[in-house]
Structure 1
Amino acid sequence: MIVGIHHVAIGVPDFDKGLAFYRDTLGLEVVESSQFDGKREMVDRAIGLPRVTARMAMLKAPNAYIELWQYTHPAPEDRRGRPCDTGYVHFCLQVDGIKAEYQRLVAAGMEFAGEPVDFGPASAIYGKDPFGNVIELYEIRDEAIAQLDRGE
């Protein structure tokens, strides 16, 4: 039985810069961090890669986690795509007050495709983290639209 989405993992080329963005700019809380030294066979088996060396941090959002990884072995390849490409192309943050959140993130240096677009019952805009990974901001104003369970 699936009980929900636990986390989305993001590979970054600069762990400290990625951590600063997701922790300090987006306000996520670091709840776990690890370093892998290439000598943990169970990790290698679970991931399906040999002699993994990497840094990892699990960051808590209100209802899910973002897991940051910087691999040094095996050497990573840059496979970022456009929002229309196949595969995992973006993740979405549901927000309240999209204009204020957009302005806060722009002031912090985040780049966006433009300003938030008002679709009537919802507003959205795509932006990028410091490495070009696509992040959508999404504000929902109509209860009929699928949205997060806030536990209220």
Structure 2
Amino acid sequence: MTVSLHHCHVAVHDVDEALAFYRDALGLEVRDDVTADGCRWVTLGGPPGIVLSEPHAARSQEDGDTLQELLARGALPMVVFRTGDLGATFERVRASGAEVLQEPIDRPRGLRDCAFRDPSGTTVRIVQEPGQVKRR
């Protein structure tokens, strides 16, 4: 039996603001945009896909409040993407106005990566694996 990731959720303050980052800056394609019971979920890429949703979407008030607090503190797990051209990807995302946390650097074993903060404060790392490294 093979098990693989289908999608993961990323909590955001504002779905439309997050779309400008994940769709426009990172270039992920919108696969689904659903609104139900006053909540919205937008699936990008995939599978595996990224699902953007507000903290209270399909959660109890208490859980949504807790998630909102963690989101506000920047205490949620990071999201890591892979690219074949880190230099070009970095420049495209930086040109979007995203907050740069780390410019591209070399890591052990040939890995190269950079980091941004999405509009809701989530850390987004972008990696380029060994053998694919293109330097600008």
TM-score range, shorter chain: 0.7 to 0.9
Distance 1:135 1:100 in 2: 16
- Asked if 1:32 corresponds to 2:48, the answer is no
- Could you give the per-residue CA deviations for residues 94-115 of structure 1, whole angstroms, max 9, x where no partner exists? 1112122111111111122231
Kindly name which structure, 1 or 2, has the bigger radius of gyration based on alpha carbons: 1
Q: For 1:55, which of 36, 40, 47 is the aligned residue?
A: 40
TM-score, scaled relative to structure 1: 0.70
Map 1:1-152 → 2, pairs under 5 A: 1=1, 3-37=3-37, 53-61=38-46, 64-70=48-54, 71=56, 74=61, 75-76=64-65, 77-80=68-71, 89-119=77-107, 121-142=110-131
Relative contact order, CA 8 A, sep 6+: which one is greater?
2
Cα RMSD of the aligned pairs, angstroms, is 2.3
SS for the counterpart of 1:105 is: helix
Distance 1:29 1:142 in 2: 26
- Could you give the per-residue CA deviations for residues 92-149 of structure 1, whole angstroms, max 9, x where no partner exists? 1111121221111111111222311112511012211111111111011249xxxxxx
Q: Runs of 5+ in structure 1 lacking a partner?
A: 38-52, 144-152
Cα offset, 1:2, TM superposition: 5.0
How many equivalent residue pairs?
123
TM-score, scaled relative to structure 2: 0.77
Q: Runs of 5+ in structure 2 lacking a partner?
A: none
The structure in which a higher percent of residues are helix is 2
What is the percentage of aligned positions where both structures have the same residue?
28
Distance 2:97 2:69 in 1: 22
